[in-house]
Each structure stands twice: as structure tokens, then as C-alpha cells.
Amino acid sequence: MLFRSAGKVVVATDGVTFPVYMDNQSTTRVDPRVVQAMLPCWTENYGNAGSLHHALGEAAKNAIEESRAKIARSIGARAEEVIFTSGATESNNLAIRGVSLHPRNRRRHLVSALTEHHATLTPLRRLQQSGFDLTLLSVLPAGHAEAGRVELQQAEEAITDQTGLVSLMLANNEIGVIQPVAQIAHLAHQQGALVHCDATQAVGKMNLNVQDLGVDLMSFTAHKMYGPKGVGALYIRGGRPTVKLLPQIEGGGQEGGFRSGTLNVPGVVGFAEALTISLEELTAEQSRLRQLRGQLWEGLRRDMPELTLNGPDFERDEMRLPGNLNCSFPGFDGQTLQLNMPQLAISSGAACSSSQPEPSHVLRALGIDEDAIRSSLRFGLGRFNTSAEVEFACQHISEAMKRIQSML
């Protein structure tokens, strides 16, 4: 089968589509079923959800609210507790800055972890520059069975009665480690602090419920779960004590005044469909991805037995995303390997921060040395990957390593 992509002919044969895409922690291909759900929003129900004085506007509004209810149910929330944004970065900023800068907030201490995404660390450090105190928790080091996890004792010691917000991601985008968010949320609430969770990598990939997590705010986005780019959400716990947020985008007062701007109706509809599909297929997909990851790991080690795993052990299934593999190739540079593998799309760092060439801050937080960090590659396996693609990737990497060695 032939099809065109970015002006190039891409050949799909024997279960392999070129280039082989294994960067699903960065973004995912939109599922065709999601595209079909979105199409009417462009061609039929294309009204503005804020224009309630005519039928097209009402149809758009109804599509938004039906999607909001679906997404809320999927995470164990009420519809009125979910607002839509442009993505997880905006959701993180609204949660972190919105809580901290609210006029009624008197607490000036923030707690997070060294391994957070830049969409969390950057607003936190900006607040630190303006006078807030910031504590970044360390994580268990490389070589530990739970490498990358925050220790509860350290979190308990860091959170005080002056802590206003604890922000911790549920699943890491680079090493796939799953953090003990529920336990840390309990510790934070004992001190009267609010808890924000960046669940961007987790929603749609693992079972979660905001009630079980005990979080007050949670960010997530569609494009990590085979939905469209440009749409995300923020869960804001209802009830008391009230979560007070200072809006970061003002205008027409959409989304309860928390986030002004015309709603992305096709994106929201696609978001809901993507999450629905992901949860319906979750158990089978988790098992399939673990099998593919095991095949990939063993295939890579055939030619490089000294390959090192970054992050928690695979045996700790409850502590690592099933589709994530991050490993270091001793003696090689990760970016050089990438350049020698044009038919394989993977990442040598956090793709969202690819404009910053510094070595991975996540791997550095694990105590991994600079050479090993620079030799690391991240594989993000996903819904459309096949066993044949995994075998091709192993062969392609082996050939690239031999080619590089021959030039030395």
C-alpha cells in the first residue's frame, strides 16, 4: 500500500509503515475513528458554541457539553468540574499560577519534583523569581527498582503549613515512572495545601479516578491519546474548601470565567471520542504494549548486551507506563544514532523541549552521568505499532551502530 506524507511516498508492507513511528510519548497519530467523530463539526455543526441565538450555535454547545460529560465520567469527575483549554501546558499554567497568584492565597511555598515537565517547572520557577519559596523533591536514583519515584518521607518533610500548592505529575514523559500521587495528596491535605497533578501521560493509558487520587486540580490533553492537538482540559475539584483560581486568559468569560476564548468544538469532540476509545481498549492495549516493549528490549540487547535501562524495572508494572522504554547505548551519542536512522522516529530527550539542547534534566535527576544521558534514546510504543515494526527497529538500530563504528 502506498500513501503520501509530507510530500513523500510512504510504503506500508508486512506490518511496517515507514517511517516507523515510536515517539508516542511526544504525540500520537489521530485515530481514524476520532477523525470521523470530528468531521461533522467542520462541515455541518460548525457554529460557535457561544452563539446560542441560532440552531448551529446550540448544536455546537450541545456537542461541547456532551463531550464534557463523557470526559468527566471517564476520570470520575462531574461535568462542571472540567474546563477546556488549548492543551496541558496551558492547563498547568492555569493551575499553578491561578492558585498561587489568587488574591486570597496567603501561602508562599510551592512543592514539586526535579523530574517534572518544563510546563510545570517553568511557571514554578517564575513564581520563585517573584518571591515564592520552591522545594523540588529529588527522586530515587538509577539502579533502584523504583528509579524516578519520589519518596514519601521526603515529601512529608517538605510539605508544611505554609505550602500552598503541591504539583506532581502522575506519569513521567521520559522514563514512564508513575508517582505515588494519592499518598502525597493525602500528606498535602493534612497541611491544608492544594494538589495539582499533571496527568498528561497517564489519562487514557492507565486506570485513574480523581477521587482515588485525591487531587484538587488535574491537567491532561487529547493528543497523547490519539486525539487532536490544540485541546486540553483542567479538572478543578468542586465542593469545599473551594479551589480558588485566578484566570490567566481573560475576555468573553467562557468556561465559567476560568478560560476565555472561543471553544474548539471539533477538538473537544475528538478529545471525548479519543478518551472513550482508549478506555474501552485499555486492558488489552496495556498487555499488548508490554509484550512489544519486551520484544524491543530483548531485540536491542541481542546486539548490545551492555544496554542500560533508565527508570523503574519492568517487573514493577504498576510503576511504569507499558509503552515506555528509555535506555542508554554506551559508547554512542543518541543524536548521532538518530541521524543514522532516517526510517525510525524516536526521541533522544523530551520532544516538547527540543529547542533546548541540554541533556535530559530527568535523567540527570536520577544521577545518571552525562555520557550515559547523551547516549540515551526514548521509545514510545503506541496503538499503531506492530511486532514487525519492533523487529525492524532493532535491525535498523543495529545497522546504524555498525555504520557509526565503521567510521571511527
So what's the pLDDT on residue 10? Answer: 67
Give the residues of the chain that fall short of pLDDT 50.
1-7, 9, 350-351
Burial call 18-43: b when 16+ CB within 10 Å, e when fewer: bbbbbbbbbbbebbeebeebbeebee
Round the average pLDDT of the chain to a whole number and report it: 94
- The pLDDT assigned to 64 comes to 98
Domain ranges of the chain: 2-22+281-406, 33-278
> Whole-prediction pTM value?
0.95
Tell me, what's the pLDDT at 5?
A: 47
Q: What is the pLDDT of residue 234?
A: 98
Fold designation for 2-22+281-406? Aspartate Aminotransferase, domain 1 (3.90.1150)
Q: What is the CATH number of domain 33-278?
A: 3.40.640.10
Give me the catalytic one of 41, 197, 327, 352. 352
Is 327 noted as a catalytic residue in this protein?
no
- Cα atoms in the Cβ-side hemisphere of radius 13 Å centred on 334: 24
